[in-house]
């Protein structure tokens, strides 16, 4: 952060607990600051965004700059920033000097903004399992994510997966067993490899949805192939639901299902309402 001090009047505040970055984002908005710079992962970015937008989008919302400091850094990389803090800082300093910014759309899930992705079902279960492992002292490495995801997939196929209804205005409901929601592309990274079920997702369009109607050898293989190879293969099959550029939709379940927002578990829900919020936030890139 010292590099920014030469170009901006900088005050550095370290977060101390979950939710602290929300408070800091709201304080920045209420104080009329021009720019907020985050150093951390997608969870920190999400909290700051929700603090900045506590009263909704508008010209009084400070601009956001993001220095990647987490394991995935999906949001920063989707903005075209390098995945390493030093190189990203250099690019952001250029953006400050050249007044280079863009305004992006965000997603809203049950009243909470998200920048990159959200999901119900298996991906949220994987994130919850990883959070438990981190609390136990384990590092969030790509191989650990792979092992955790594989265990969750095998367990879901062995057990009776939760059934959810995916609905949007003007269309019949789809019955699915999990759903990924993207506000940008890719959905996440496995190391340097992008994992991308909805490669057409963009900050400049509505939300994209990728959902699986059922677990099975063929449908699961199609889903994994699509996500890893970033292809549209399987998008018209009977097992995969793919929606692009959606303004609003919802997912409902008879029993509670795990939910994640921007890579952070938010607990169990029975209903999740999603809305696209265009032109919500100005960011440096």
Q: Kindly report the three-state secondary structure assignment for every residue of the chain.
A: CHHHHCCCCCCCCCCCCCCHHHHHHHHHHHCCCCEEEEEECHHHHHHHHHHHCCCCCCCCCCEEEEEECCCCCHHHHHCCCCCCHHHHHHHHHHHHHHCCEEEEEEEEECCEEECCEEEECHHHHHHHHHHHHHHCCCCCCHHHHHHHHHHHHHHHHHCCCCCEEEECCCCCCEEECEEEEECCCCCEEECCEEECCCCCCCCCCCEEEEEECCCCHHHHHHHHHHHHHCCCCCCCCCCEEEEEEECEEEEEEEEEEEEEECCEEEEEEEEEEEEEEEEEEEEEC
d(Cα 42, Cα 46) in Å, to the nearest integer?
Answer: 6
Query: So what's the pLDDT on residue 235?
Result: 46
Q: What is the pLDDT of residues 182-219, one digit of tens each?
A: 999 988 887 777 888 899 999 999 999 999 887 765 55
pLDDT band per the 50, 70, 90 thresholds, residue 157: low
- As a whole number, the mean pLDDT across the chain is 86
C-beta of residue 64 within 8 angstroms of C-beta of residue 38: yes
Query: So what's the pLDDT on residue 144?
Result: 58
Beta-bridge partners for 268? 258
Q: What is the pLDDT of residues 273-282, one digit of tens each?
A: 999 999 999 9
Query: So what's the pLDDT on residue 162?
Result: 76
d(Cα 169, Cα 177) in Å, to the nearest integer?
Answer: 20
CATH of domain 117-277: 2.60.200.40
Q: Would you give the distance in Å from CA 113 to the centre of its chain? A: 10
Residue range(s) in the chain whose domain bears CATH number 2.60.200.40:
117-277
C-beta of residue 126 within 8 angstroms of C-beta of residue 132: no
pLDDT band per the 50, 70, 90 thresholds, residue 234: very low
CATH of domain 2-107: 3.40.50.10330
* 278 to 10, 106, 124, 275: CA distances (angstroms): 29, 6, 25, 10
pLDDT band per the 50, 70, 90 thresholds, residue 164: very high
Query: So what's the pLDDT on residue 275?
Result: 98
Whether the pLDDT of residue 226 is over 70: the answer is no
The closest of 159, 173, 135, 161 to 252, measured between CA atoms, is 173
Residue range(s) in the chain whose domain bears CATH number 3.40.50.10330:
2-107
d(Cα 104, Cα 92) in Å, to the nearest integer?
Answer: 17
Query: So what's the pLDDT on residue 47?
Result: 98
d(Cα 45, Cα 68) in Å, to the nearest integer?
Answer: 9
């Amino acid at each position: 952060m010292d590099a920014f001090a030469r170009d901006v009047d900088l005050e550095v505040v370290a977060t101390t607990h979950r939710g602290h970055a929300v408070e800091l984002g709201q304080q920045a908005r209420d104080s009329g600051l021009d720019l907020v710079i985050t150093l951390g992962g997608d969870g920190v970015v999400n909290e700051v965004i929700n603090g900045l937008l506590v009263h909704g989008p508008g010209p009084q919302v400070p601009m956001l700059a993001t220095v990647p400091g987490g394991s995935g850094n999906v949001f920063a990389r989707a903005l075209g920033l390098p995945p390493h803090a030093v190189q990203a800082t250099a690019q952001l300093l250029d953006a400050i000097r050249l007044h280079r910014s863009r305004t992006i759309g965000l997603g809203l899930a049950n009243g909470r903004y998200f920048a990159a992705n959200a999901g119900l079902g298996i991906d949220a279960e994987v994130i919850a399992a990883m959070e438990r492992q981190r609390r136990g002292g384990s590092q969030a490495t790509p191989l650990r994510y792979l092992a955790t995801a594989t265990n969750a997939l095998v367990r879901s196929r062995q057990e009776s997966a939760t059934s959810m209804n995916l609905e949007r205005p003007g269309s019949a409901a789809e019955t699915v067993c999990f759903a990924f929601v993207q506000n940008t592309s890719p959905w996440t990274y496995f190391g340097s490899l992008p994992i991308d079920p909805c490669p057409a997702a963009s900050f400049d369009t509505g939300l994209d949805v990728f959902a699986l109607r059922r677990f099975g050898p063929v449908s699961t293989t199609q889903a994994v192939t699509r996500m890893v190879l970033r292809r549209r293969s399987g998008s018209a099959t009977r097992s995969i639901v793919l929606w692009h550029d959606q303004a609003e939709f919802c997912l409902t379940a008879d029993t509670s299902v795990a939910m994640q927002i921007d890579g952070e578990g938010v607990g169990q829900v029975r209903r999740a309402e999603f809305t696209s919020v265009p032109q919500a936030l100005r960011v440096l890139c």
